Amino acid sequence: MSNAVALTAGIAPRNAGIIQHYHAHVYYDLASTRDRAAGLRERIAAAFAETTLGRWHDELIGPHLQSMYQVAFPCELLASLLPWLMLNRDGLTILLHPGTGNDYADHTEHAAWLGNVLPLRVGVLEGAPLGWGDEPERRRDADGR
């Protein structure tokens, strides 16, 4: 959204300079797609040495309700890694989000999904609105709808 459009819509534009880094969460099913996730992980490591590959999380962790691993990367890599993931994700679902310091907003309103949008337990994230608890939630807007 351009600044002119944002201002006429009553929305103050946010400064993208608050983004410190990015995370891509690659989701897989332990029984059926872990091998594909492993292949994607190897290809990411070979093509993008600047990434940091997180541990395999076969058990659920944090807001994630499916097995996954995280790929952390610097802002400068977004323009090349994002289109690469779009074309090479091998049918896997990926949650891509910035690191702004607000975990809740980063995993919800700032997030982009490649593939199916999966439910998250957003109540466990720092910055979650009070009363959201640990229930799985799909994306909600700023008014909680």
Residue 64 has pLDDT above 90, yes or no: yes
- Which pTM value belongs to this model? 0.81
Asked whether the predicted pLDDT for residue 144 surpasses 70, the reply is no
Q: Where are the domains of the chain?
A: 18-124
Per-residue model confidence as pLDDT tens digits over 30-63: 999 999 999 999 999 999 999 999 999 999 999 9
Report how far residue 2's alpha carbon sits from residue 40's, in angstroms, rounded to the nearest whole number: 35
**What residues contact residue 5 under an 8 Å CB cut-off, 6+ apart?**
none
Are 25 and 40 in contact by the 8 Å Cβ rule? The answer is no
Would you say how long the chain is, in residues? 145
Q: Which percentage of the chain shows pLDDT scores above 70?
A: 81
Cα separation values, 61 from 53, 88, 122, Å: 16, 25, 12
Confidence of residue 125 (pLDDT cuts 50, 70, 90): confident
As a whole number, the mean pLDDT across the chain is 86
User: What does the alpha-carbon distance between residue 89 and residue 26 come to, in Å, rounded to a whole number?
Assistant: 9
Compute the average pLDDT of residues 120-124.
86
pLDDT in tens, 80-94: 999 999 999 999 999
Is 18-124 a CATH 3.30.750.24 domain?
no
Q: Please give the backbone phi and psi of residue 64, each rounded to the nearest 5 degrees, phi first.
A: -85, 125
CA atoms within 13 A on the CB side of 121: 11
DSSP characters for 50-102? T-EE---B-S-BTTB-S-EEEEEE-GGGHHHHHHHHHHHSTT--EEEEEESS-
